Chain A
Amino acid sequence: MANTIRNISAIAGRELRSYFGSPVAWVLMGFFAFAFGYFFNVYLDFFVRSATQSQFGAPPATNVNNDMIRPLLGNTSVLILFLLPMITMRTYSEEKRSGTIELLLTSPLTDLEITLGKFFGAVGVYLGLLAVTMLYVAVLYGLGHPEWKPLVAGYLGLLLLGSAFISLGLFVSSTTKNQMLAGGVTFLMLLLLWIINWFAESAGPTFGPILNYLSVTQHLEDFSKGVIDTKHLIFYMSVVVFGLFLTLKSVDTERWRG
Chain B
Amino acid sequence: MIEVQHLTKRYGPFTAVDDVSFRVEAGEILGFLGPNGAGKTTTMRVLTGYMPATEGKAVVAGYDVFSQPLEAKRRTGYLPETPPLYPEMTVREYLLFVARIKAGILKKSERVERVASVMRKTHVDDMANRHCGKLSKGYRQRVGLAQALIHDPEVLILDEPTAGLDPKQIMETRDLIRSLAGNHTIVLSTHILPEVAQTCQRVVIINKGRVVAIDTPDNLTHQLKGAASLYLQVDAADGAADLLRSLPGVRGVTVADQNGTRTGYEVESEESRDIRRDVARAVVQQGWGLLELRPMRMSLEDIFLQLTTEEQPQEAQHG
Contact = CB atoms under 8 A, between A and B. Distances in A.
A121 to B, nearest CB: 13
B18 to A, nearest CB: 15
A213 B134 CA distance: 50
B199 to A, nearest CB: 23
Contact of A106 (B16, B49, B83): B49
A6 to B, nearest CB: 7
Chain B's interface size range is 35 or more
A100 B50 contact: no
B210 to A, nearest CB: 18
B80 A102 contact: yes
A98 B97 CA distance: 17
A101 B86 CA distance: 10
Interface stretch (A7-15, A60-68, A178-186, A198-206): A7-15
Contact of A102 (B50, B74, B87, B100): B50
A102 B89 contact: no
B89 A107 contact: no
Contacts of A3: 104
Q: Is the interface of A mostly helix, strand, loop or mixed?
A: helix
A27 to B, nearest CB: 14
Contacts of B104: 3, 6, 108
A99 B84 contact: yes
Contacts of A108: 70-71, 73-74, 101-102, 104
Given A18-B86, A100-B85, A10 B101 contact: yes
B45 to A, nearest CB: 7
Interface string A38-78: 00000000000000000000000000000000000000000
A127 interface: no
B89 A103 contact: no
A56 to B, nearest CB: 59
Interface string A235-258: 000000000000000000001111
Chain A's interface size range is 20 to 34
A3 B78 CA distance: 22
B50 A106 contact: yes
A105 B50 contact: yes
A60 B87 CA distance: 57
Interface string B78-111: 1011111111110001000110111010100000
Given A102-B50, A256-B52, A258-B51, A107 B86 contact: no
A35 interface: no
A103 B98 contact: yes
Contact of A11 (B49, B101, B106): B101
A134 interface: no
B305 to A, nearest CB: 29
Given A102-B78, A108-B74, A256 B51 contact: yes
Given A17-B93, A106-B50, 7 more contacts: A11-B101, A14-B86, A99-B82, A101-B84, A106-B78, A256-B51, A258-B42
